[in-house]
Amino acid sequence: MIEELRISNLGVIESAHLNLTTGMTAITGETGAGKTMALTSLSLLMGAKADAHRVRQGADKATVEATFVVRADSPVVEIVENAGGRVDIDGGHAAVIVARHVPAQGRSRAFAGGQSVPMALLEEIAAHLVTVHGQSDQLKLRSETQQRRALDSFGGAQLAKVRTEYDAAWAALGQAEETLAQFRADMRRAATEILALETLVKRVDAVEPRLGEEEELKARALVLENIEDLRSAMSGAALALSGGDDDGALGAIDTAADLLDQVADADGELGVLSEQLRDVALLASDVANTLGLKLSQLNADPEELDSIHARRAQLRSLQRDLGMSIADMLTEREAADGKLSRLNAPADHLQQLEEEAERARQRVMEVGNQLSSIRNQMGDKLARQVTEELHDLSMKDATFAVVVNRRDEPARHGLDAVSFHLASHRGAPALPLTSAASGGEISRIMLALETALNANPRPDHTFIFDEVDAGIGGKTALCVGQRLAKVGKKSQVLTVTHLAQVAAYASQHVVVAKKSEGATTSTDVVSVAGEDRIAELARMLSGHAESEAARTHAAELIRAAVVP
């Protein structure tokens, strides 16, 4: 429940601080006083889109902050703590502070437990703590989708379990049908695709390229194309080392080493140098031998060079035709083998997929029938309870019905089309809410549904009813007020109302009043009791808070506001 609400610089509200209680709280005030801003503050805490134009003129930002009191084991506690926020736990209860800052310029910010959080987190928190019913929700209630969701919610854990099984069966059917459809599409494309894949395989296999082959051929061609230059260079180098008519470099090195050996006794360092020259001579001799071997193998081979040029041209042509490198075409060639195996699979694979899809469909129908059965049972039960509630809301002759019709084909939500019907008086046919219920009746049906859907106490939860009394008055308004107060015995209820008959049933009464100081207009949001409350009810009854007749009537309304 909401324990505290603080508002500053939001619309006409300069500053407001409310301590809210359990039970039913009525929010009243003259038209234009700013009741809408009070609800806007709550919607901001629920993650609604922020509007900078809502910031009070002259202020830098608007702020809204609320303290929610929940059970210590509430999912909200874990949500806030996982987001890095702080939660104050005292005994079996926890206090969670949620805030929203809306600057006059720039983006709004959301906070939970003092920690800046994404806006979606406020929506997640609100989903656990707050339910709003307003004029827009009347339109939603006319939607068969919302009606089905309401019935499923009423079905509780029993229906939820089967619905979970149906969701799993529906997902499995979707997967099976998608796989089957893909296989059939593959088969339709198979002739063309198989031809393309086989062509790729044949083209690559005909050439038989090897990874790295192109680089090897390029290197060999470079040798054959420069064979005379290579022979001349290697011959000259070998001659320089071994010598022709003279000793060459090797002979000169040996001579130098011998000369140094002759005087090594006189200078030991010369002996070391002599040994180094002997090592150089060995290395030079190895080089000379290698050059001789390469020269013996270096033969001009025009046919080999032509063959290399032809092979390189063949590889380039293949790469150009296929539009890919040799590495890529070898990868694609391997992948083509696998795909050809699948595309050429025997027909029994298609039969296998068809059988799997049929089994999945049978499972959907099996669980869907279970879901339909429970929906019919719960629909009858919900209809009885809502009808009883409507009788208590001055719709004595009304009959509410939940119609569960079988669809031609299963859908994501089941085999059923769910619709709410209303016979507003005896003898009248039960017609869909879209055509049978007026605005005032829809308001009462919403309240009756909420009462039926929340039969168990939910002390952590807050229900907000915005103008649920639209289109009603007199005794009916008294019935609505009593019913709201009854809901307030199990959960916190905040209701914006224009009717004194409704407000009289509130355990807390909040007045939104406009005041002017010079050229400045602002709004006070205060909790009233005693004579102040009687004055507000008198104003709502007659337009004059000072009217003795109205005040007497107001006091009588309060005395008569007994909740069974």
Query: What tens digit of pLDDT does each residue of 149-206 get?
Result: 889 988 989 999 999 999 999 999 999 999 999 888 877 777 788 888 888 999 999 9
How confident is the model at residue 432, as a pLDDT? 87
- Tell me what the mean pLDDT of segment 487-501 comes to: 91
How confident is the model at residue 473, as a pLDDT? 80
- d(C-alpha 405, C-alpha 236), whole Å: 102
Beta strands across the sheet bearing 431-432 = 399-411, 414-423, 431-432
Q: Which residue has the higher pLDDT, 38 or 22?
A: 22
- d(C-alpha 128, C-alpha 98), whole Å: 13
Q: Amino acid identity, residue 68?
A: F
**Residues 2-134+457-560, CATH architecture:** 3-Layer(aba) Sandwich (3.40)
What confidence tens digit (pLDDT) does each residue in 422-443 have? 898 888 888 887 776 666 677 7
State whether residue 517 is helix, strand or coil.
strand
How confident is the model at residue 20, as a pLDDT? 92
In the predicted model, is pLDDT for residue 508 greater than 90?
yes
Distances in Å between the Cα of 8 and the Cα atoms of 59, 102, 165 are 9, 10, 48
DSSP E strands: which ranges in 393-468? Answer: 399-411, 414-423, 431-432, 462-466
- Tell me what the mean pLDDT of segment 319-338 comes to: 91
How confident is the model at residue 244, as a pLDDT? 62
Please state, as a whole number, how many other Cβ atoms lie within 10 Å of the Cβ of residue 73. Answer: 10
Mean pLDDT comparison of 31-35, 199-203, 264-268, 517-521, highest-scoring range = 199-203
What confidence tens digit (pLDDT) does each residue in 194-249 have? 888 888 999 999 999 999 998 999 988 888 888 888 888 888 888 888 876 567 88
Q: Which residue has the higher pLDDT, 384 or 131?
A: 384
What confidence tens digit (pLDDT) does each residue in 108-130 have? 999 999 999 999 999 999 988 98
DSSP E strands: which ranges in 469-538? Answer: 492-496, 508-517, 520-528
In the predicted model, is pLDDT for residue 284 greater than 80?
yes
| Spatial CB neighbours of 86, under 8 Å, sequence gap ≥ 6 | 80, 113, 114, 115
Closest of 196, 222, 204, 199 to residue 317, by C-alpha: 204
Phi-psi region of 460 (alpha: psi -120 to 50; beta: other; left: phi over 0): alpha
Please state, as a whole number, how many other Cβ atoms lie within 10 Å of the Cβ of residue 85. Answer: 21
In the predicted model, is pLDDT for residue 148 greater than 80?
yes
| Spatial CB neighbours of 527, under 8 Å, sequence gap ≥ 6 | 18, 19, 508, 509, 510, 511
* 30-34, 286-290, 393-397: the lowest-pLDDT one: 30-34
Closest of 491, 413, 419, 416 to residue 450, by C-alpha: 491
How confident is the model at residue 546, as a pLDDT? 87
In the predicted model, is pLDDT for residue 9 greater than 60?
yes
Helical segments of 208-301, H only = 213-225, 227-242, 248-262, 268-297
Closest of 455, 480, 491, 485 to residue 392, by C-alpha: 480
Which residues face 422 on adjacent strands? 400, 431
Distances in Å between the Cα of 357 and the Cα atoms of 226, 290, 349 are 69, 73, 12
State whether residue 127 is helix, strand or coil.
helix
β-pairing, 492-496 vs 24-28, is: parallel
Percent of the chain with pLDDT over 70: 95
- Tell me what the mean pLDDT of segment 513-541 comes to: 86
What confidence tens digit (pLDDT) does each residue in 54-91 have? 898 889 999 999 999 999 999 999 999 999 999 999 88
**Alpha carbon 157 to its chain's center:** 25
Percent of the chain with pLDDT over 90: 45
What confidence tens digit (pLDDT) does each residue in 517-529 have? 766 777 888 999 9
- d(C-alpha 450, C-alpha 89), whole Å: 30
In the predicted model, is pLDDT for residue 347 greater than 70?
no
- Tell me what the mean pLDDT of segment 386-400 comes to: 88
How confident is the model at residue 243, as a pLDDT? 74
Phi/psi of residue 241, nearest 5 degrees: -80, -50
In the predicted model, is pLDDT for residue 139 greater than 60?
no
How confident is the model at residue 63, as a pLDDT? 95
Distances in Å between the Cα of 468 and the Cα atoms of 87, 148, 229, 442, 483 are 34, 22, 103, 9, 11
- d(C-alpha 169, C-alpha 361), whole Å: 8
- How confident is the prediction for the chain on average, in pLDDT? 87
Closest of 344, 346, 350, 451 to residue 393, by C-alpha: 451
155: tokens are: 């079905």
What confidence tens digit (pLDDT) does each residue in 81-102 have? 999 999 999 888 999 999 999 9
How confident is the model at residue 296, as a pLDDT? 81
This prediction has a pTM of: 0.62
Angle at 299 between CA 298 and CA 300, to 5 degrees: 130
Q: Which residue has the higher pLDDT, 348 or 77?
A: 77
- Tell me what the mean pLDDT of segment 283-289 comes to: 88
Mean pLDDT comparison of 387-396, 430-439, 469-478, highest-scoring range = 387-396
Closest of 367, 372, 373, 437 to residue 400, by C-alpha: 437
Structural domain boundaries in the chain: 2-134+457-560, 208-343
- d(C-alpha 485, C-alpha 479), whole Å: 10
Characterize 314-337 residue by residue with b for buried, 16 or more Cβ atoms within 10 angstroms of its Cβ, and e for exposed: ebeebbeebeeebeebeebbeebe
How confident is the model at residue 409, as a pLDDT? 92
In the predicted model, is pLDDT for residue 552 greater than 60?
yes
